[in-house]
Chain A
Amino acid sequence: MTIGPTPTSAAATARPPKQAVPFTARDVVRQLRWDALLRNTATTVVILLLIASMADLLNSAAMVVAIAVWMGLSMVDATVLRLVPRIGALLERDPVLAESLITDALRRRPLQPTVRLTIYHRLALLRHTQRRFAETAAICRVVLEQNARWYRRFEPSLLLMLTDASLECHDLLGAYTGLARLHVSKLGLVESLQRLALQVRYDIACGHDAQALDGVDRKIGLIELMPPPTCGALHAMLAGAAQRTGRPELADWFQRRAQLLCTPAELDTYLSSRVHVTA
């Protein structure tokens, strides 16, 4: 799968975006290997210089060189890490510029695996914002496969994106995998709410309407804490589920609430669809 640049804003005409590095799962692994090779070589050189200076084979200038090499390596990581908050802020405001910064960052080497995977996490966020769900799922899957200790912090975010993107692509197996891992992950309140929204969507997409309505009182309490568009969408979807399971009173109650929470156009979409509710 290849990911190219997507000029989606007016800024694209004013500033030619940089060509994004084509994305393939194999490329990510290759980049990480190159990083490791370069870093290991540089670390070996630093250690040799330190040993040499300790054994009086070279004078203390060797240590200066060693420290300079070490600082040079750290500078590459530091430069890229400085871009991360900026990319985050630009994701919705100026996706073209965000893409350009991501491309710049990914071209630099050697990077620590944590730094490179952080940039890929931002790329996944960008693709998700652009509603390019197949690519989002592919990036999330590759990053999660790296088994890095780093991603513990980003794991919930990656799994939520993977599940959402899989549902949007009607890939129920991918959504199941994401949800299964989300159920054993440590989540904060907001992430737990997002998981609940995805679980309801997954149940309805699979035709498990009764399961979607299981514990409905508790679910409603939590759904009300979600952002209004998600709250309205889930009401509409649950109205459909209640209708299909032969609970007209509950369906009517959900639908009347949904009419207050969603626009008529949104309501039509959600009532007729089984999956299209982006959490």
Chain B
Amino acid sequence: MPHPKPKPFAPPKPEQVRKYLRRHPPTGAPRWLSLMPMFSLGLLLVLLLMVQETALLLVMAWLILGGLFALLGWRVRQMQELEARVNHASDLAVLNRFPESLRLAWRTLPVATRSPEMHGRLVALIAHDLDQAGACESAITAYTYLLDNMPPNHPSAVQVKIHRAMAQLTNDQLTDADDALRRLRGAIEPYKGSPLAALYRLANLIQQVRTLHFEDAVTHAPTLVDELRPLGVSAGLGHALMAWSYRNLPGAAEPGSPFRAEADSWWGRATLLLPVETILRRFKELTPMAETTTGDPTQAPA
């Protein structure tokens, strides 16, 4: 019998994400489970004081202790299994296998409600996977849930806010993104030179391109390579946006224009770090750039 054709990947819709996250909130371990060791020891002491028959007492004591150890062992094994699943989902995301990572994180979430830390990691992973899979609205829903449920001043809050702003920019929620980025300006100051500051710089560049402020974008071109360096090869996205900004300056279409040469140079840098397909998957509006300019090869020469 032929195998049924697997369904193509379809990311969950924002409403689905909202309902699912609301249905599986972090609850922490049940109170009875936390109190179980103390309760068992208390029971043991009561038995010691009340039961006179030593043999019976010993049997009961060992049964209680055995039960307690079995319970603790079961809890530890459960937590280890959960951690292994979360790590696996995280590894899949590192390998850019976002649909698989999302599927695993989604299915693991109901089991993780008893561990708020694992639950937080999974929601962050779901948001990231949705973002990378192009489901920006769903990603924004997940990022918002994460921020609403984070303790105040959580170290990851700034990073999540930048990612949400970037998803908002991709989703054409320009006012929300502008507001978020403006609020983050002060918070980002202490992180100068870090990957977080580089991410913020990239978000600003995306905003300038989305709002067609190409002249503003090229003003800071000389420092862009240094500012985006902490992002590693992902800095190629910023270089591609800079190329697009130069290409859209007035007069760039004229033959021999210095802007055209700058655009080609930035595009070369971008494609040296990232394949054209990766850049276009993220920024479809750059397709004319890819069609007219041959960048440097991302593939190593033989």
Interface residues of A (CB under 8 A from B): 50, 53-54, 56, 60, 63-64, 67, 188-190, 216-217, 220, 224-225, 227-228, 231-232, 249-250, 253-254, 256-257, 260-263
Q: Given the complex of chains A and B, what is the CA–CA distance between A111 and B115 in angstroms? A: 29
How far is the CB of B101 from the nearest CB of chain A, in Å?
Answer: 12
CB contacts (< 8 Å) of A220 on chain B: these are: 300
CB contacts (< 8 Å) of A250 on chain B: these are: 300-301
Interface stretch of the complex, out of B103-111, B170-178, B231-239: B231-239
CB contacts (< 8 Å) of B45 on chain A: these are: 64
A188 near B91: Cβ-Cβ < 8 Å: yes
Q: Given the complex of chains A and B, what is the CA–CA distance between A53 and B53 in angstroms? A: 11
Checking B94, B95, B230, B272 against A257 with a beta-carbon cut-off of 8 angstroms, the contacting residue is B272
Sample of 19 more A-B contacts, CB < 8 Å, known A60-B54, A63-B58: A53-B54, A63-B61, A64-B48, A188-B87, A189-B95, A190-B91, A217-B299, A224-B233, A225-B95, A228-B229, A228-B232, A228-B233, A232-B229, A250-B300, A253-B297, A260-B229, A260-B269, A260-B272, A261-B273
Interface centre among B55, B61, B233, B269 (most CB of A within 10 A): B233
Q: Given the complex of chains A and B, what is the CA–CA distance between A56 and B44 in angstroms? A: 19
Closest Cβ neighbor of A220 among chain B residues: B300
A228/B230 contact (C-beta < 8 A), A188-B87, A217-B299, A256-B272 known: yes
CB contacts (< 8 Å) of A256 on chain B: these are: 272, 296
Interface residues of B (CB under 8 A from A): 44-45, 48, 54-55, 57-58, 61, 87, 91, 94-95, 195, 225-226, 229-233, 235, 239, 269, 272-273, 296-297, 299-301
A261/B300 contact (C-beta < 8 A), A188-B91, A225-B94 known: no
A260 near B225: Cβ-Cβ < 8 Å: yes
Q: Given the complex of chains A and B, what is the CA–CA distance between A56 and B57 in angstroms? A: 12
A54 near B55: Cβ-Cβ < 8 Å: yes
Q: Given the complex of chains A and B, what is the CA–CA distance between A216 and B302 in angstroms? A: 9
How far is the CB of A82 from the nearest CB of chain B, in Å?
Answer: 15
Q: Given the complex of chains A and B, what is the CA–CA distance between A261 and B91 in angstroms? A: 23
How far is the CB of B58 from the nearest CB of chain A, in Å?
Answer: 6
A63 near B300: Cβ-Cβ < 8 Å: no
